[in-house]
Structure 1
């Protein structure tokens, strides 16, 4: 699959995720895809299990914003913010493709935190 086609597939995936379209959201995954959540120590085997897990999430996302998508060849990274129950989570998704489908995804979720005052002289605040 060409990189332009992968980028288009990723854009469609994230738009479907934001819209809550579980079927379109999971079109990007191979049937035997694996998704890892390292922070909770979980591994999801198979597109059907991944779709079922996400479809049963008790706090459906109410906001979703892709910051950037970068990649080359079969390795692509998306940085985005997702809002669950009024709280933002900064998220990184690392996707590995084979034959045009995601075969392995790793997702990292991070809560925002207040910047400590002691480092203010060296930083600039961003939005």
Structure 2
């Protein structure tokens, strides 16, 4: 049983790694192969949801700007993978945290993206922190 869970964790992790690599390469056919046909993509900050592989691929294909990405960290469990990703769009930099759920075929069935905005910390804690 534990061996089966490890295989599923490894499979989904590899699928998510391929998802990001093919997105960066703009290889939309291979990108689509990482997704379940009924994939659901959710953006909580904007309260948007995209249902279905074709619509989600088109959403990414049409995304404006010359964006690029780099995976900072991947954490994998048998049915879920979480990534911390660094994006650039021109001179703008941003980070995303993405939660991926897999289906029984090793494809991505659900994605939830969080795009936290950077902000200046509150005053009064300079003596406790180091800014980077």
Give, in angstroms, the shift of residue 16 of structure 1: 1.3
Cα RMSD, aligned residues only: 1.7
Structure 1: give runs of 5+ residues left out of the alignment: none
| d(CA) in 2 for partners of 1:22, 1:8 | 17
Moved more, 44-53 or 6-15: 6-15
The DSSP-based 3-state class of the residue aligned with 2:59 is helix
Cα offset, 1:111, TM superposition: 2.6
Alignment of 1:14-29 (within 5 A): 14-29=20-35
What is the total number of aligned residue pairs between the two structures? 125
Q: Which runs of 5+ in 2 are unaligned?
A: 1-6
Which structure has more relative contact order (CA 8 Å, sep 6+)? It is 2
| Separation in 2, partners of 1:60, 1:49 | 20
1:29-87 Cα deviation digits (max 9, x unpaired):
100010001111111010100001111112231x3111101021101100111112321
> Aligned to 2:97, which of 92, 96, 106?
92
Would you say the 8 A contact 1:88–1:111 is kept in 2? Answer: no
How far the C-alpha of 1:107 sits from its partner, in A, is: 0.5
Is this contact kept in 1: 2:85–2:95, CA < 8 A? yes
Q: What's the TM-score, normalizing by structure 1?
A: 0.87
Answer with 1 or 2: which has the greater Rg: 2
* Structure with the higher strand share, 1 or 2: 1
Aligned residue for 1:45?
51
Establish whether residue 58 from structure 1 lines up as the match of residue 64 from structure 2: yes
